[in-house]
Structure 1
Amino acid sequence: MNKTTAKLEKNLINALTLACEEFKRWDIGFDWLTHTVSHNRFPDSLVVSCVFVTQTQMQQVLSDSLDVRMRKEIQTRLLKAGIRPKDIRRNVRMDNEEACMAQDGGNWEARLERFRG
C-alpha cells in the first residue's frame, strides 16, 4: 500500500469510526460497521455495511427511514474527510447478525465479499 492509499484508508477509517460511535448512541440495535473497497476504483467501489443485532431491528430502522439518516451521517463524515462518494445509497448497505448466521453460517468475511462493490 503506497502512502497516498494508506492516508486515504486512515481518513476513511477515522470517518467511519465517528459515524459508528454516533449510531451506537441512537439505541436502534446498531452493533457495528465495516467497509470494503478496491482503492483502484475508489470511491465507486466503497461499500459500508451497517450491522444490526437482529433482522427485526434492521427492519424497524428501514421502516422508520433511519437508514436515510444513517447514510446522511456517513456521507457528512466522509465529506469532512475529503472523500466524495457519487451516490451514498449505493455505498451504504444495512445488514444484521441473524441474516449472516442464517445465510453464511456466521462467516462475515464471505458475506462481505458477496456484497463487495
Structure 2
Amino acid sequence: MPSPKRKYSGIERELIRALITACETAKSEIVGFQWLTHEVDYERFPQSLRVTWMFDSEASRAHALACSDKARMLELTQAAFDEVGISVASIAEHVAFSVERQARGKRGQGH
C-alpha cells in the first residue's frame, strides 16, 4: 500500500498549481498581500489542510480582514480546492492570515 504522501502526490501538484493561480490573482487585487503557503498532514487529509495568506505588515493584514478582501481570499481558496476536487465543510476553517515576519522559519510550500 502506498504511503499517504505518495497517494496524494497528484493532488498536491494540482493544489499547488491552483494555489499559484489564486496567489497571482490576489497579488493584483489585495493591497499588502505577499504570498501564500499551505500545510497538510496526509494522515488527516483534507481536515488538516490549511492555507496561510501572508501580508507585508500587520496593518495590511488588519485592513484586508476588515473589508471585502477577506471574503475574496476565502473565495480564491475555495476555488482552488474545488478545482482539485477537495471538499471541506467550511473553507474558513482551512484558512489563516499572517504577517511575513511572523512566519519566518516555518516550513511549508510557498507560492
What interval of TM-score do these two structures reach, taking the shorter chain for normalisation? 0.7 to 0.9
1:62 corresponds to 2:65: yes
Q: Deviations over 1:35-61 (max 9, x none)?
A: 000112111100100000000000000
Query: Map of 1:6-25 to 2, 5 A cutoff?
Result: 6-25=9-28
TM-score, length-scaled by structure 1: 0.81
1:88 corresponds to: 91
1:38 corresponds to: 41
Give the match's secondary structure for 2:54.
strand
**Alignment RMSD (CA, Å):** 1.6
Cα distance in 2 for partners of 1:15, 1:36 equals 15
TM-score, length-scaled by structure 2: 0.85
Structure 1 runs (4+) greater than 3 angstroms displaced: none
In structure 1, list runs of 5 or more residues that go unmatched. 113-117
**Percent identity of equivalent pairs:** 32
Per the TM alignment, residue 14 of structure 1 is displaced from its structure 2 partner at its CA by 1.0
The letter of the residue matching 1:10 is R
2:105 corresponds to: 107
In structure 2, list runs of 5 or more residues that go unmatched. none
